Amino acid sequence: MLKNRIIPCLDVKNGRIVKGINFVELKDAGDPVEQAKIYSDGGADEICFLDITASNENRETIIDIVRKTAKECFVPLTVGGGVRTIKNITDLLLAGADKVSINTAAVKNVDFVKEASKKFGSQCIVVAIDAKKVSDNKWEVFTHGGRNKTGIDAVEFAKKVEENGAGEILLTSMDKDGTKSGYDVDLLKTITNSTNIPVIASGGVGTLDHLYDGIVKGGASAVLAASIFHYGEYKIKDAKEYLNSKNVSVRL
């Protein structure tokens, strides 16, 4: 039976891990390579790097981090942030990433998702959707780390990226991110029910119960969390043991 994945996420800015509250205020939480190794040794099912500043000048920094991490961690490595061109993807994959996550560039031009999945295979193309609630059961896609409104409906967009070859969706609730009040379960449920590719839940985890909700109530195939793991509140192992005790199948 396929196990539900626990994915610690490392938000990286200028080579250091940071974690923001609602995408803005940033705290420093350490060295990404070291932290990735701790997660992988602790049983993380996958590791995600999000380069949250990702201007063209500092692309080398994230590539270097990926390169170092990939030599020590032998679990899948997903990297996102500022992925705009086929060359960006090639560089990350050559450095040792297994998947890349595309956000703004996918919204601007969905053909980029198609082109990328055709070239590299759907298995390595994740589309990151940042969604914000606009009314009852309605969510809108935001870009540029949550700064720009697009007017695009999140559900329609999720279906569209699936049609265009995305292998997975990384779904972040902008309302919940950094709040520690749990995932937006309604958003998750709506997206997992309207697509046939795996959805990774993101944004809002504060307790282990929230991970449970993401999988069981939201239908996510994987749950992503940042701060609860960074600041040592919980270890990956705690999360897995907790889920296992509630009959959610995980890799122990």
Q: Judged by CB under 8 A, does residue 216 bind another protein?
A: no
Give catalytic status of residue 91 as yes or no.
Answer: no
Q: Which stretch binds another protein (CB under 8 A): 18-26, 55-63, 73-81, 240-248?
A: 73-81
Residue of 38, 197, 216, 248 that binds another protein (CB under 8 A): 197
Q: 211-225 burial, b for 16+ CB within 10 Å, e for fewer?
A: bbbbbeebbbbbbbb
Contact between 75 and another protein by CB under 8 A: the answer reads yes
130 catalytic per annotation: yes
SS3 state at 126? strand
Nearer to another protein, 121 or 209 (CB): 121
By CB atoms closer than 10 A (0-12, 13-18, 19+), residue 26 is: middle
Q: Is 121 in the site for another protein (CB under 8 A)?
A: yes
DSSP helix/strand/coil, 150: strand
Catalytic residue among 91, 130, 177, 213: 130
Question: How many amino acids of this chain bind another protein (CB under 8 A)?
Answer: 33
Q: Which amino acid is at 96?
A: G
Structure tokens at 149: 């409104």
Residue among 25, 104, 14, 131 at smallest CA distance from 61: 14
Q: Among residues 135 and 247, whose Cβ is nearest to another protein?
A: 247
Longest dimension (CA), the chain: 46
Does 122 engage in binding with another protein (CB under 8 A)?
yes
The residues that touch another protein, with contacts defined as CB under 8 A, are: 1-5, 40, 45, 70-71, 74-77, 93-98, 119-124, 167-168, 196-198, 221-222, 251
Q: Which residues are catalytic?
A: 11, 130
